[in-house]
Structure 1
Amino acid sequence: MIYKRFLLLLLFVASSAVVFAQNTVVSGTVTDAKTHHPLSYVTVAFTGSSIGMNTDDHGNFSLTSAKPYTKLSVSTVGYTTATFDVEPGKEQVINVKLVPVAKQLNEVVIKSAKKEKYHNKDNPAVELIRKVIANKPKNRPESYNYVEYKAYEKTQMSFINVSEKLSDKKFFRKYKFFLDNKDSTTIPGKTILPVFMDEKLSQYYYRKSPEKTRNQILGQKSVDFGNFMDSEGFGTYFKRLYADVDIYRNNIFLMTNMFLSPIADEAPTFYKFFITDTVNVGNTKLIRLSFTPRNTTDMLFEGDIFITLDGNYAVQKADLTINKAINLNWVRTMNVRQEYEQNPDGRWHLSKSDARADFGTRKNGDHGIFGERTVTYRNYKVNVPHADTTYESVVALSDEVKHRSDQFWAENRLDTLSKAESKVYANVDSLKRMPSFRRTADIATLLLAGYKSLGPFEIGPANTFYSFNPVEGLKLRFGGRSTPALSKRYYFETYAAYGFKDEKWKYFLSGTYSLNNKSIYAFPQNYIRASFQRDTKIPGEDLQFVEEDNFLLSFKRGVNDKYLYNDYYRLDYVKEFESHFSYALGLRKWTQAPAGSLYFTNFVDGQPNSISDLTTTEATLQLRYAPHEQFYQGKLYRTPIYTRYPIFSLNIAQGFKDVLRGEYNYTRVRLRIDKHTYFSQLGYADISLEGSNIFGQVPYPLLSIPQANQTYAYDIDSYNLMNFMEFVYDRYASFKIDQHFNGFFFNKIPLFKKLKWRETLSAKVLYGSLRDENNPSIHPSLYQLPVAANGVPITYTMGNKPYVEGSVGIENIFKFIRVDLVKRFDYLDNSNVAEWGIRTRVDFNF
């Protein structure tokens, strides 16, 4: 037995020696013909074969083949391709001198990175990327007069490495069918358990002049978790995290942050580029261009892009990865891969885009959440015009589109589902029917959203059940609202509250009728609402009733005993359009009475006169335009998602005297513009401009009162070092900016970089004035501005200078805490004011 093995070994060695003796071996060095510098990353290959390699940092190469090849090809971008004769079956040395091609790129000087620092000057990779940048306009779809294609979008979310033993435990045995539906092929070395799936098939049309875009959804399918989670809203939020990646834009929006594209106009300033390979795809020659961030902590990618050398300098393939050192919360890895196909005219269009991310609390953890969004594009056509109606906007999705048959999806999917993905729909449908799951979902909803579902009604919000203030003392509140399970037309909302110090009941009741048979929380809204509210309010505060009794807002600094008792009777009509223009009409009767140390007093015939309450009757009109606005849409709520587009709102209120006991005629006009602005590597800023004017003579409770903040929380929309009721005016202009740098500066400081802290900067400027006709010192019949018990003024009018406050802050402390040092610059002589303050805020951001 032993000798047989020995004989086989001898035969193997002998045959190997014969084969080796017949090998063709070529080695040598590739240098620049003019400078004689060695050239790295040059492609050296036997002509007509797939056998090849890149030269090393010193320009050396060595190729071996058992086949009798007779030609050697040497090529790289910027040089004339050289071909040499080879003697088959022999070892030989061929030293190559490549001649630069001046028309393509300047001379190449590439040296080992260990010996010389990277630089842009005379760098062929940088010259190539500049050609890509220069040709971007013609490589974008918008360069055509008409574009159309079909797009299939698949989004899925999964748990990573769920224990195999979990489904065998007693509590989870009933969920075994769900827990065992795993996929081990998507992520090498890991298993994923899909829990969410969403599919969408769309037909896209674009026309350049006049510019119109239409995205007609042909079919949409999503898992349905019932009342526990709104799948459509979750899908919208998920798509925001995995937004469409357009590499030809300067900035790419992912994970709520802006990443600089590797082919952005300023890319050579932030990236290092290296030519690493040349390949052929059909008749097209491609350059593989690798890139890395100059600073690994900036919001940049690393990876490879393949550039065509057909005169288009277009991207044919892209592999984008984020660096682990980036200051990005909970994202362990993220990768975007894109493939492009060639049009009949020789240009290239995106054919597939796949974005994947691995989320977890620990950077190197084995467990977490995996999300993937894949978009496949087919039937791409250019410069095929259609009738004008083809490019018009489409109304909301029909039930037919949302409930396509399995046969429709089998015939129209442009991609395939894995075995695990294909079972998600049925598994979730079975899961939501299980009583134990519904009980768990109810508890989670109460903890996260603050509501406890009771089918057609739900109780909450929980954070308002208990609060306190100096006027009411301990305040208990209990309320709830109806759900679509009761009716899709009628909605009711109510609460009752009791203050143990003032011994008064407060309550709220509203009834809403949906005119479009859709949830009043869903876009586009179209409803009419009648409501009555009796409750307390701090003058100048503009909080929603669900927030006014928030327990955390009960803690306030300084003197806080000036309140109003309010009776609101309201009738509102709201209409939203698909264009995201909306208007709201309202009628309001408001009776306000002073509470605490607040009082209403004027002078009649020189004598002080105490006033018990003030009643106004108003008609209101609100016009709002928020182009391309998106929402994180739940079944019973919606939250706007910031976009790069501004939001315009115009409010007009007309007061009527002697109508429903209204006491004053006046007109109030307010215009506000909000903008969420991205500054690429410098983060983003929330900016608002606002102005208002009141026409007519009114007492101070009807004047504009700035929204002050006497809590210890940092409020972006309030003046954090201003006291309640500190200023009044009848016209004003304000500017606010809240800048988030996303760690751009802190990432250069080792300690802050390790802590993942991020820097913030904010400024708020307010200028207001009071005309003589509304000044109570000139017109004693108007309500006198409040003063303290010792006669010191507590409410002021502004002089010739604005109110200014600013802050510097650190956010992302423990990933969710923000701390600001706030400074007040003006009106420091007013009573009970603080020049400095420290405020905190809780924010969960990526």
Structure 2
Amino acid sequence: MKSFFSLLLVLLAQIALGQTKVSGVVLDDTGLGIPYANVLFSDSSEGTITNEEGRFYLESDQNYEAIVVSFVGFETKIVDIEKGANYNLEIVLTTEAATLNEVVIYKGKTSKKNNPAIDILRKIWENRRENGVKKFNQYEYNKYEKIEFDLNTIDSSVINSRVFNGMEFIFDQTDTNSVTGKTYLPIFLNESVSKVYGDNVENKEKEDLRGNKNSGFNSNQTLIAFIKDLYADYNVYDNYLKFFDKSFISPLSTTGINVYNYVLSDSAYIGDKWCYNIVYYPRRKGELTFKGDFWVNDSTWAIKEINLQASKSANINWVKEIYIEQEFDVLNDSTFLIKKDYFMSDFAFRKKEESRGVYGKRTTLYDNYEFDKPKGEGFYDQEVDPYNEKIYNRDDNFWEVNRLESLNKDETGVYKMLDTLKTVKAFKRLYNVGTILASGYVEFDGWDYGPIFSTFGFNEVEGVRLRGGGRTYFGQNDPWRIEGYLAYGFRDDRFKYGISGKWLLDRKLRLTVSGGNRRDIEQLGASLTNTSDVLGRSLASSAVITVGANTSLTDINLTTMALELEPAKNFQVRFGGSYRTLTSASNEFDLSYVRPGATDTVATVEQTELSTIIRYTPKRKTTGYGVERTVVNSGDFPSLFLNYSTGVKGLFGSDFDYQRLQFYYRQPFLVGGLGRLTSTFEAGKTFGEVPLGLLNVVPGNQTLFSIFGTFPLLNFYEFVTDTYVSTHIEHNFNGRLFSRIPFMQKLNWREVIGVRGVWGEISEENQALNASFSNPVLRAPDDQIYWSYSVGISNIFKVFRLDAHFRGNYFDNPDARSWGITGAFGFNF
């Protein structure tokens, strides 16, 4: 991803406005920290809750002379403070003599019976569907969103670091965060103004972007879309809140009483509404929960204000803090509408208090609500030009009028600082390193070299393989792109190459023409459904470490041409044609076939194929408006694929007539608080007689990598079919089970289970075409469904996954593996 966010990853590895600031720790009389204790400025509603170690930070623009510290079962304590900064206070609470029996509350349990807080919670459940814009047939409102990234924990060691040589001026912008008390440096700011329309009758919503501005990286839609997906919209009334691809249990959830403790803390007027204040905190460590409090109206049972702070022990990577504030306005006595939403996260490699990181902050303001104004037919389906350059270049007057909140001193300074920073050579070097790590390409003027991660490979035919390539790149909205590569195998002493080009003819319809040619060594059958990418190459083709020799490789010469369009959002249609020749690349593997009606054999398959491919990916989010787009929410949307292809005998010397129909469906599910389930279903049939090179190979996996969609215990070409049905189901519990085991809680491991199955058959006619009777022997899983299952642990050291696989049947197949181990690296929240 060519964006400034890549720079943040590198900085992570390297490295006062309020008038009253207080920080410290709250302890019991044995010296242990008290989690979730209340800390408020005296005679005010401004306060916070201690974290799991009992630590807190509190800041206000007002002058206060004392703080009030309290927790159920302990005597309330008033602590005098000085004006200005009061850091590292140590506050000891003593147990109330009259409530010694209630100290068990401190250990994480509040009663589920006769608890007034839970009685109020049940009232919220009964009335939650009656609040907000969902109460009206149609709605529209203005939306202003501000997203900021800051380096935090700025101290002398950071300021004097060699990384920032020549960039010392940026530290003039440092300030103190009002939630954590850490010093921070703003480094990125993005603002957007939108008009949002919705129709609850048709269940549709549309957001019309009116203006967008960011500090130093104008029109960077990839970064903007990535951040927006990272901080996706949510509704606190829902049972589960999705952040960073995880399902957190909402404190307002109907299952909340099983994972949260609730305490009725206070009651007061907020505006002219009498409200109750409820404090909540987790019953157990390691779960995806929050701590905080909320104010709820006593008649409508609608939330007036709510604060959520993720538990530090929550099983989520690279994020040390999550803090959320929401405020609601009263439209009338029965309707509360969201007015402000503030979301802050602290990205860091470690969760220790002193560790450095990057704050990500999103502030969203809502205004000018209007209701029950139906739009014309097709309004929500109407497509406009997706990229209007004027939107990303609004003048200062536009922002002065449309901002719903003025920028503070630090935010105003970010724009000027980034403009200056881009001229500094040291910053340019740092940005280039981040771009290479994020995109895999080295940038030059007008073209990129890469991907660098494909430079080295190995297989039995080529031996050590070196590869170099590149692509044209003038910007993320390029209307055309050419890319290619050149590779060399030291064992077969041959060069291979691939080249392709794409041209976007119509941006609105996404009408694209493409073509290319590739001559290379390939492991076919890496997936059941066909790929349309002429430069696509499976991991199995050049994996350095494999189980057994990988000799079943094909020498392929492939030429393709295609026309693609997107008549509706995320609905793609592709008309293509290809010509390919397939020859065995190894003497130990045979693709030759017996010529129909004759006895001689043919070593090379020549085939011309025409295809129509339909892809539908609802809820997919993309960025970029050029010939190539970046998928923002990869793996987080359903995917349907339908391919009808036909072989044309005689065209360009083509050998076979046939028809092939293939269907693929992938669906991810967030199963409440139980993690993520991903399922796939594939089916296909080839009508007509075809040789091995044109059959469907059940994708084996002889590598040591965990590759979704393959069968890890099958060898390459162990099963070959012309008719097949396949399924793969995998569930990641996200640590839900391990979090209940005390000695495993701190490991933050995540449990993964999976099951795979495939049934298929191959006709006698297609068997008879095969000229090889030994390597491979054509067999299909037609006696019974071949299946295997796996158990695994992910998130080992936050980046590694290990799976153990077990075969369910077909143990008599040659060289059949009954079990095996695979692993994978990845960066996941």
The equivalent residue for 2:633 is: 641
CA distance in 2, matches of 1:350, 1:475: 58
CA distance in 1, matches of 2:625, 2:314: 31
CA distance in 2, matches of 1:192, 1:571: 52
The correspondence for 1:262, drawn from 251, 254, 261, is 251
Alignment of 1:318-333 (within 5 A): 318-333=306-321
Q: Mind listing any 5+ residue stretches in structure 2 that lack a counterpart?
A: 1-37, 44-67, 79-98
- What SS class does the counterpart of residue 719 from structure 2 fall into? coil
CA distance in 1, matches of 2:695, 2:783: 19
CA distance in 2, matches of 1:343, 1:112: 42
Instruction: For residues 353-396 of structure 1, give each alpha carbon's deviation from its aligned partner in whole angstroms, at most 9, with x where no partner exists.
Output: 10111121222224211111111111122334444465454531
- What SS class does the counterpart of residue 314 from structure 2 fall into? coil
The equivalent residue for 1:787 is: 774
CA distance in 1, matches of 2:709, 2:419: 42
The two structures have a TM-score, normalised by structure 1, of 0.81
CA distance in 2, matches of 1:171, 1:131: 55
- Kept in 2, the 8 Å contact 1:234–1:633? The answer is no
Alignment of 1:283-362 (within 5 A): 283-310=272-299, 312-344=300-332, 346-362=334-350
AA in 2 matched with 1:177: F
The equivalent residue for 1:621 is: 612
AA in 1 matched with 2:482: F
- Kept in 1, the 8 Å contact 2:467–2:486? The answer is yes
Alignment of 1:564-603 (within 5 A): 564-577=554-567, 579-596=569-586, 597-603=588-594
User: What is the number of equivalent residue pairs in this alignment?
Assistant: 736
AA in 1 matched with 2:365: T
The correspondence for 1:274, drawn from 263, 279, 295, is 263
The equivalent residue for 1:450 is: 440
The equivalent residue for 2:5 is: none
- Kept in 2, the 8 Å contact 1:467–1:550? The answer is no
- Kept in 2, the 8 Å contact 1:467–1:549? The answer is no
- Kept in 2, the 8 Å contact 1:322–1:334? The answer is yes
2:816 corresponds to 1:824: no
The correspondence for 2:818, drawn from 819, 830, 835, is 835
2:792 corresponds to 1:805: no
2:416 corresponds to 1:416: no
AA in 2 matched with 1:327: N
The equivalent residue for 2:363 is: 374
- What SS class does the counterpart of residue 753 from structure 1 fall into? helix
- What SS class does the counterpart of residue 197 from structure 1 fall into? strand
User: For the structure 1 residues 160 and 641, does the alpha-carbon distance in structure 2 shift closer, same or farther, using more than 3 Å as the test?
Assistant: same
Instruction: For residues 663-696 of structure 1, give each alpha carbon's deviation from its aligned partner in whole angstroms, at most 9, with x where no partner exists.
Output: 1111111111111110121111221111111122
2:223 corresponds to 1:234: yes
Instruction: For residues 415-472 of structure 1, give each alpha carbon's deviation from its aligned partner in whole angstroms, at most 9, with x where no partner exists.
Output: 2222121122232233233344333433443344332112111111122222221112
CA distance in 2, matches of 1:486, 1:295: 46
- Kept in 1, the 8 Å contact 2:476–2:625? The answer is no
CA distance in 1, matches of 2:597, 2:514: 45
The alpha carbon displacement at 1:755 in A equals 1.5
CA distance in 2, matches of 1:769, 1:180: 71
AA in 2 matched with 1:679: V
User: For the structure 1 residues 213 and 111, does the alpha-carbon distance in structure 2 shift closer, same or farther, using more than 3 Å as the test?
Assistant: farther
CA distance in 2, matches of 1:547, 1:729: 22
User: For the structure 1 residues 57 and 239, does the alpha-carbon distance in structure 2 shift closer, same or farther, using more than 3 Å as the test?
Assistant: closer
CA distance in 2, matches of 1:725, 1:605: 23
The equivalent residue for 1:137 is: 129
2:515 corresponds to 1:530: yes
AA in 2 matched with 1:638: T
CA distance in 2, matches of 1:552, 1:637: 27
AA in 1 matched with 2:407: L
CA distance in 1, matches of 2:620, 2:711: 27
- Kept in 1, the 8 Å contact 2:646–2:657? The answer is yes
User: For the structure 1 residues 254 and 298, does the alpha-carbon distance in structure 2 shift closer, same or farther, using more than 3 Å as the test?
Assistant: same
The alpha carbon displacement at 1:404 in A equals 0.8
- Kept in 2, the 8 Å contact 1:602–1:608? The answer is no
AA in 2 matched with 1:241: L
Instruction: For residues 267-288 of structure 1, give each alpha carbon's deviation from its aligned partner in whole angstroms, at most 9, with x where no partner exists.
Output: 2233222211111123321111
CA distance in 1, matches of 2:477, 2:737: 53
Q: In angstroms, what is the RMSD of aligned CA positions?
A: 3.2
Alignment of 1:4-403 (within 5 A): 112=102, 114=104, 118-164=110-156, 172-184=164-176, 186-187=178-179, 189-225=181-217, 231-310=220-299, 312-344=300-332, 346-363=334-351, 364-388=353-377, 391-395=380-384, 396-403=386-393
AA in 1 matched with 2:607: T
Instruction: For residues 769-827 of structure 1, give each alpha carbon's deviation from its aligned partner in whole angstroms, at most 9, with x where no partner exists.
Output: 223443x2xxx3x1245514xxxx64412223111111101111111000011111111
The correspondence for 2:757, drawn from 765, 786, 795, is 765
CA distance in 2, matches of 1:134, 1:693: 52
CA distance in 2, matches of 1:773, 1:153: 64
The equivalent residue for 2:602 is: 611
Give the greater-gyration-radius structure (CA).
1
CA distance in 2, matches of 1:696, 1:283: 77
User: For the structure 1 residues 407 and 394, does the alpha-carbon distance in structure 2 shift closer, same or farther, using more than 3 Å as the test?
Assistant: farther
The alpha carbon displacement at 1:836 in A equals 0.7
CA distance in 2, matches of 1:325, 1:253: 17
Q: Report the more deviating stretch, 545-554 or 230-239.
A: 545-554
Q: Mind listing any 5+ residue stretches in structure 1 that lack a counterpart?
A: 1-40, 47-52, 64-108, 519-523
Q: Report the more deviating stretch, 562-571 or 410-419.
A: 410-419
Instruction: For residues 58-111 of structure 1, give each alpha carbon's deviation from its aligned partner in whole angstroms, at most 9, with x where no partner exists.
Output: 999999xxxxxxxxxxxxxxxxxxxxxxxxxxxxxxxxxxxxxxxxxxxxx999
The correspondence for 1:652, drawn from 631, 641, 644, is 644
CA distance in 1, matches of 2:317, 2:746: 13
AA in 2 matched with 1:559: A
The alpha carbon displacement at 1:485 in A equals 5.5
CA distance in 1, matches of 2:476, 2:670: 43
- Kept in 1, the 8 Å contact 2:792–2:803? The answer is yes
- Kept in 2, the 8 Å contact 1:223–1:231? The answer is no
User: For the structure 1 residues 57 and 528, does the alpha-carbon distance in structure 2 shift closer, same or farther, using more than 3 Å as the test?
Assistant: closer
AA in 1 matched with 2:810: Y
User: For the structure 1 residues 487 and 321, does the alpha-carbon distance in structure 2 shift closer, same or farther, using more than 3 Å as the test?
Assistant: closer
- What SS class does the counterpart of residue 354 from structure 1 fall into? strand
The equivalent residue for 1:29 is: none
- Kept in 2, the 8 Å contact 1:809–1:819? The answer is yes
Alignment of 1:681-720 (within 5 A): 681-720=673-712
Q: Report the more deviating stretch, 574-583 or 763-772.
A: 574-583
CA distance in 2, matches of 1:223, 1:59: 49
Instruction: For residues 137-180 of structure 1, give each alpha carbon's deviation from its aligned partner in whole angstroms, at most 9, with x where no partner exists.
Output: 11142221121111111111110023357556777453233332
- Kept in 1, the 8 Å contact 2:619–2:638? The answer is no
Identity %: 28
CA distance in 1, matches of 2:204, 2:149: 33
- Kept in 2, the 8 Å contact 1:644–1:678? The answer is no
User: For the structure 1 residues 692 and 242, does the alpha-carbon distance in structure 2 shift closer, same or farther, using more than 3 Å as the test?
Assistant: same
CA distance in 1, matches of 2:252, 2:270: 21
CA distance in 1, matches of 2:178, 2:74: 38
AA in 1 matched with 2:345: A
Instruction: For residues 740-771 of structure 1, give each alpha carbon's deviation from its aligned partner in whole angstroms, at most 9, with x where no partner exists.
Output: 11111111122321211111111111111223
CA distance in 2, matches of 1:643, 1:609: 48
User: For the structure 1 residues 670 and 302, does the alpha-carbon distance in structure 2 shift closer, same or farther, using more than 3 Å as the test?
Assistant: same
